[in-house]
Amino acid sequence: MNKNTRSVLLITILSLIWGSSFILMKWGLQVYTPFQIGAIRMFVSFLCLFPFVITSFRKIESSRWKYLLAAGLLGNGIPSVLFPLAETNISSALAGMINSLTPVFTLLFGIFLFRMKAGAYRVLGVLTGLAGAVILVSARSGNVANPGNPDYAWYVVIATLCYAGSVNILKSKLSMIGSVPNSGFAIMFVGVPMGAWLFSTDFLERTMNVPGAGFSLTCIVVLALFGTALSTVLFNMLIKSSGALFASSVTYLIPIVATLWGLWDHESIGVFHIAGLGAVLSGIYLINKK
């Protein structure tokens, strides 16, 4: 398989996995708190990946550990809580739409922190994407009975900022480390403390006593195994082979998948949502235009 074909295949798989993650978080919220969902997700991901990296401790240079910690916090730990927290008041489809801001912030981080070059198209793309973001975070979502609080959309914006920082760290500071060790050690830094905290909460009580807990827990475990553990490895592979900006463009397809799930789950999607998403995706196109 040549490089281009592999990159397209990786983007397709990641789009399906990550595009489905927003509805899984929504279903997890039927029983668990946003912080518990994040903790379950990170702890299960850690348990899944750690056996594959336990023999690689000595292969990691001491100077790289701080970057692995930063990548774990920005790329996994913080967003794993911010997304379900946002979805307590906005729809899963809107969360998926706002998530498409990641390439815009990836470029801004690259320009200001990693000396990436910015041309006229990229500047115009950033401005267009940010205009779309303003439209999206101002639009109400949810349903007629519960229109939600649009201010919670800012939690998703903060999460995309975290993702953008992580993408640039992975490309500029950790590209020499294999994809599996990269993911495993980054998640280790957040999975262990979040797992320890999880069992100090009423997690077990909810799991045993709340109706529907089995379904909600299954959704979060699936999210952890595929949406975090597997997808993080695949995304690191994509970054190493195709670059940070191309890799972050996976968000072209993520909102489409998220929107289809939202429509299937009877979420309301208005004209402003479509307009805002169109502006963001147009901005991403301009950013990637040569």
Q: Per-residue pLDDT tens, the chain, 290 aa: give them.
A: 666 677 778 888 888 898 999 999 999 999 999 999 999 999 999 998 888 888 877 778 888 889 999 999 999 999 999 999 999 998 898 898 888 888 788 888 777 776 667 777 878 888 888 888 888 877 765 443 445 677 888 999 999 999 888 888 887 788 777 777 888 888 999 999 999 999 999 999 999 999 999 999 999 999 999 987 788 778 777 777 777 667 766 767 888 889 889 889 888 888 888 888 888 888 878 877 76
Residue at token pair 């336990």 = 54
Query: 3-class SS at 142?
Result: strand
Q: What is the DSSP letter of 139?
A: S
Q: Within 13 Å and on the Cβ side, how many CA atoms surround 186? A: 29
In sequence order, which residues have a C-beta less than 8 Å from that of residue 162 and are 6 or more positions away?
73, 74, 75, 78, 79, 82
Q: What is the DSSP letter of 268?
A: B
Q: Which amino acid is at 7?
A: S
Nearest to 230 by CA among 87, 6, 18, 57: 18
Are 275 and 36 a contacting pair, CB within 8 Å?
A: no
